[in-house]
Amino acid sequence: MSVRTPDPDPDWTPKPPAGAQNTNPGWLKDVELAEIRRRLPILYIEAVPVRVDGLGQVVEVGVLLRARPTGEMTRTLVSGRVLYGETLRDALFRHLEKDLGPMAFPQLPASPVPFTVAEYFPMPGITAYTDDRQHAVSLAYVVPVSGTCDPRQDALEITWMTPAEAASPGVSAEMEGGRGTLLRAALASVGQLY
Amino acid sequence: MSVRTPDPDPDWTPKPPAGAQNTNPGWLKDVELAEIRRRLPILYIEAVPVRVDGLGQVVEVGVLLRARPTGEMTRTLVSGRVLYGETLRDALFRHLEKDLGPMAFPQLPASPVPFTVAEYFPMPGITAYTDDRQHAVSLAYVVPVSGTCDPRQDALEITWMTPAEAASPGVSAEMEGGRGTLLRAALASVGQLY
Amino acid sequence: MSVRTPDPDPDWTPKPPAGAQNTNPGWLKDVELAEIRRRLPILYIEAVPVRVDGLGQVVEVGVLLRARPTGEMTRTLVSGRVLYGETLRDALFRHLEKDLGPMAFPQLPASPVPFTVAEYFPMPGITAYTDDRQHAVSLAYVVPVSGTCDPRQDALEITWMTPAEAASPGVSAEMEGGRGTLLRAALASVGQLY
Amino acid sequence: MSVRTPDPDPDWTPKPPAGAQNTNPGWLKDVELAEIRRRLPILYIEAVPVRVDGLGQVVEVGVLLRARPTGEMTRTLVSGRVLYGETLRDALFRHLEKDLGPMAFPQLPASPVPFTVAEYFPMPGITAYTDDRQHAVSLAYVVPVSGTCDPRQDALEITWMTPAEAASPGVSAEMEGGRGTLLRAALASVGQLY
């Protein structure tokens, strides 16, 4: 028997309090979002949290472990939708805080250029990435964190690995939507894929 | 009296033939697109067409001159929306062909990483870029073209400039939505901003 | 018995004609170069030749096969020293021509930024790269070629592989100085490492 | 009359104590270095120190002010030679400490890829960069610093500027060797060149 919270929507955004009128036009009802997801590519950010040494070299990579409502465990990265009116930096910071907690102290990159752009399609074979809910385009960043990571959602844990472990076929096989490829691209971008 | 075609929507996409039923769920009626534009950031690609010498060095930059329906002339870059189900490469190629004609022979970059990401907001002051229709996030690429550029839309012309001319305050002042900043970032990325 | 030409020095540079006085101060006698190689890091460029499709996507990777004087075969990439007074573009072009022949028609990148910087040290364990002759720092580029590759040196052949083959452990094991790592970083940079 | 310390060699490296035998083959006597500088391109790193806000956005840029032995003041960036046997990260850290002091707490980038590569030639007109002593190739990085900068050399001061000030023609005109171009490329790479 599991008391785990069911898998929250990774696109979760604060809902208005009950009875309040929603005044943010960018806020979407689930049914609206589901409809739009069949009409337009949806913009995401993703982050690969890392620990660096005193010379900036990546020594550990943080991979999220998520409990699916089915009880199945999968691995993923910090990931989420960019909202209407939100800058990429704000979205990155919001999703890092959502997935790593308020004490992670992420050092967001000075450059807005991602290490790669991952294109997720509902059907496999177009790219390395799939997402059965939608066509999503994700700007992916490597983000050093210097604080304590404590995922706020009950269904999430963070596992720290060496670059070699993170690049291994075993870890890749457990990652959602082809994100093993994304993780290896992240490692290559910081000179840590061997 | 002007016989120019009114300024076409830069997000123009092929419409289904009259009488045919539109079966592409990614096709949006104007009213639907207008609605979605107030709810979600819209994904764009942009391209800075360039001429290169035999060693790959940029020697000229192509800037589009567009006649607005009002008769006003503004400068812009190759730009357009990414459609549902379309890869970034397909979108880049489609918009390059739309704006430069079928004989431009663009050499799309091997890497999917843009030289910068431009964030357009309806209200000024958040970033250097504005778009009063929408919140758009644009992945911007420098694209060498080796053929003949012949914009297919009547309202467009292409002007080839040296990097120094393209970076000048005069050209910047004529560019739509803050794209003078984008053009300078493009030049800096290829080592041609002095 | 082998009639192959002995492995030429990959840093080979044109020697002055016999009897002529060498007036280029950047030209180094072998003994001078050997001496300097123990005193300073030596600047190199490296290129990964690729074939791209009409949308710029990498479909094949060119790997050089080199016969060592011992008869041993190893794999490598286009690689060579930057000479005094030579621009990086000139060095890239010269080494591409030396290793791929005059009809390869390489499309040198518009940007001077390499996809990675490889640091070779005489002793293993400092980085992924080793070179027992020297401390070399190499700026590495992915270079599409559209022509016919015909290595000018007898001891070289070029093998075209799919990205998946090029990234395989078998190919990596045959590559000189840890360049399997460089090849995978090149593939990751163009979104072709899975 | 000036009591300032003469302009120290920016390539300064620790000399062996008097009477001790120098056992590091990478250590070069001034006359040897002068000789090699006419024979080979010399590898440098450069760093643009920046202050970032909580979202990683660059808000200030540090520019060094240097007193020449002639009393003339010029502006420059953190810059120095990579020594034999030294990694790029070690060289970056050493020169940051040399120019900004031990309490600057630089956050070296996780990626080894520079924002640009600057090629300095003794004669003007080949690139935007000149160095009358040598042909130098410099890998340039943007480096956030979170501590207190206190240049250790008497002839140096650091001035913090907004991105707009740093990009101004006035500052560019005061910068050594064409580094105004380098500074603008740094700002463009972090989305702060307007």
Nearest-CA distance D8 → chain A (Å): 26
Q: Report residue A24 as tokens.
A: 């943010």
Q: How many beta-carbon pairs under 8 angstroms link C with D?
A: 84
Contact predicate B163/B54, CB 8 Å: no
Summarize the confidence of residues B70-91 as an average pLDDT.
95
Please state, in angstroms and as integers, the Cα–Cα distance from residue C42 to each residue in A83, A93, B153, D82, following that order.
48, 41, 52, 10
**pLDDT tier, D71 (very low <50, low <70, confident <90, very high otherwise):** confident
Of A28, A40, A43, the CB nearest to B137: A43
pLDDT reading at D174 higher than 50: yes
Nearest to D157 by CA among D4, D11, D2, D1: D4
Q: Cβ separation of A188 and C191 shorter than 8 Å? A: no
> Could you tell me which chain A residue has the CA closest to the CA of D186?
A111
Q: Distance between CA A87 and CA D55 in Å, rounded?
A: 10
In the three-class reduction of DSSP (H, G, I as helix; E, B as strand; rest coil), residue B169 is classed as helix
Bigger pLDDT: C160 vs B3 = C160
Of B25, B87, B135, the CB nearest to A85: B135
Cβ neighbors of A82 (< 8 A, separation 6 or more) are A43, A44, A45, A88, A91, B41, B137
Nearest to D139 by CA among B96, A48, C138: C138
Which residues in chain A are contacts of C128 at CB distance < 8 A? Answer: 194
Strand-pair partners of D156? D66
Bigger pLDDT: D22 vs D132 = D132
Which residues in chain D are contacts of A97 at CB distance < 8 A? Answer: none
Q: How many beta-carbon pairs under 8 angstroms link A with D?
A: 61
**pLDDT tier, C67 (very low <50, low <70, confident <90, very high otherwise):** confident
- Mean per-residue pLDDT of chain D: 88
Contact predicate B88/B82, CB 8 Å: yes
Q: Cβ separation of D185 and B184 shorter than 8 Å? A: no
**For D151-163, what is each residue's pLDDT tens digit?**
877 668 999 999 9
In the three-class reduction of DSSP (H, G, I as helix; E, B as strand; rest coil), residue C174 is classed as helix
Percent with pLDDT over 90 in chain A? 73
pLDDT of residue B1: 29
DSSP state of B178: G
Nearest-CA distance D34 → chain A (Å): 30
Nearest-CA distance D105 → chain A (Å): 9
Q: Distance between CA D68 and CA D155 in Å, rounded?
A: 8
Q: Report residue D179 as tokens.
A: 């580094």
**For D12-21, what is each residue's pLDDT tens digit?**
454 444 444 5
* Beta-sheet strands, E only, within chain B: 42-52, 58-67, 73-76, 78-81, 116-121, 129-130, 136-144, 156-161
Please state, in angstroms and as integers, the Cα–Cα distance from residue D27 to each residue in A99, C42, D82, following that order.
49, 15, 12
Q: Which residues of A18-29 are buried (b: 16+ CB within 10 A; e: fewer)?
A: eeeeeeeeebbe
Which position has the token pair 């040290």?
C121
Contact predicate D120/C84, CB 8 Å: no
Summarize the confidence of residues B142-154 as an average pLDDT.
90
Q: Choose the mutation target among B52, B55, B146 for the interface with C, i.e. most C CBs under 10 Å.
A: B55
Nearest-CA distance B1 → chain A (Å): 39
pLDDT reading at D134 higher than 50: yes
HEC string of chain A?
CCCCCCCCCCCCCCCCCCCCCCCCCCCCCHHHHHHHCCCCCEEEEEEEEEEECCCCCEEEEEEEEEECCCCCEEEECEEEECCCCCCHHHHHHHHHHHHHCCCCCECCCCCCCCCEEEEEECCCCCCCEECCCCCEEEEEEEEEECCCCCCCCCCEEEEEECHHHHCCHHHHHHEHHHHHHHHHHHHHHCCCCC
Q: Cβ separation of B188 and D191 shorter than 8 Å? A: no
- Mean per-residue pLDDT of chain C: 88
Lowest mean pLDDT among A149-153, B35-39, C145-149, D78-82: A149-153
**pLDDT tier, B139 (very low <50, low <70, confident <90, very high otherwise):** very high
Q: Choose the mutation target among D111, D115, D190 for the interface with A, i.e. most A CBs under 10 Å.
A: D111
Q: Choose the mutation target among C48, C51, C55, C139 for the interface with B, i.e. most B CBs under 10 Å.
A: C55
- Mean per-residue pLDDT of chain A: 88
Q: The pTM is what?
A: 0.90
**For C99-157, what is each residue's pLDDT tens digit?**
999 999 999 999 999 999 999 999 999 999 999 999 999 999 999 999 999 987 766 89
pLDDT of residue C3: 29
Percent with pLDDT over 90 in chain D? 73
The ipTM value here is: 0.87
Which H helix or E strand runs over B183? Answer: helix B179-189
Lowest mean pLDDT among A20-24, A86-90, A115-119, D92-96: A20-24
**pLDDT tier, A6 (very low <50, low <70, confident <90, very high otherwise):** very low
CA C122 to the chain's CA centroid: 17
pLDDT reading at D10 higher than 50: no
DSSP state of C88: H
pLDDT of residue C25: 62
The chain D residues in contact with chain A (CB within 8 A) are 50, 52, 54-58, 89-90, 92-93, 107-113, 115, 142, 144, 189-191
Q: Choose the mutation target among D46, D84, D86, D87 for the interface with C, i.e. most C CBs under 10 Å.
A: D84
Residue type, C132: D
**For D86-123, what is each residue's pLDDT tens digit?**
999 999 999 999 999 999 999 999 999 999 999 999 99
**For A53-84, what is each residue's pLDDT tens digit?**
999 999 999 999 998 888 889 999 999 999 99
Which position has the token pair 């072709």?
C192
Nearest-CA distance C136 → chain D (Å): 9
Other C-beta atoms closer than 10 Å to the C-beta of A164 total: 12
Nearest to A82 by CA among A161, A10, A185: A10
Percent with pLDDT over 70 in chain C? 86
Chain A adjacent subunits, 3+ CB pairs under 8 A: B, C, D
Which residues in chain A are contacts of D112 at CB distance < 8 A? Answer: 190-191
Please state, in angstroms and as integers, the Cα–Cα distance from residue A73 to each residue in A67, A156, C84, following that order.
5, 10, 57
Cβ neighbors of A54 (< 8 A, separation 6 or more) are D93
Chain B adjacent subunits, 3+ CB pairs under 8 A: A, C, D
Nearest-CA distance A45 → chain D (Å): 14
- Helices B179-189 and D179-189 pack at an angle, to 10 degrees, of 120
Summarize the confidence of residues C2-22 as an average pLDDT.
43
Of D28, D36, D82, the CB nearest to C137: D82
**For A109-121, what is each residue's pLDDT tens digit?**
999 999 999 999 9
Bigger pLDDT: A144 vs B4 = A144
pLDDT of residue B24: 62
Which residues in chain B are contacts of D188 at CB distance < 8 A? Answer: 116, 184-185, 188-189, 193
CA B188 to the chain's CA centroid: 18
Summarize the confidence of residues A20-42 as an average pLDDT.
78
Q: Cβ separation of C191 and B142 shorter than 8 Å? A: no
Of A117, A127, A188, the CB nearest to C188: A188
Q: Cβ separation of B184 and D191 shorter than 8 Å? A: no
Which residues in chain C are contacts of A116 at CB distance < 8 A? Answer: 188, 191
Q: Distance between CA A78 and CA A138 in Å, rounded?
A: 11
Other C-beta atoms closer than 10 Å to the C-beta of D18 total: 5
Bigger pLDDT: B35 vs D116 = D116
Nearest-CA distance B119 → chain D (Å): 10
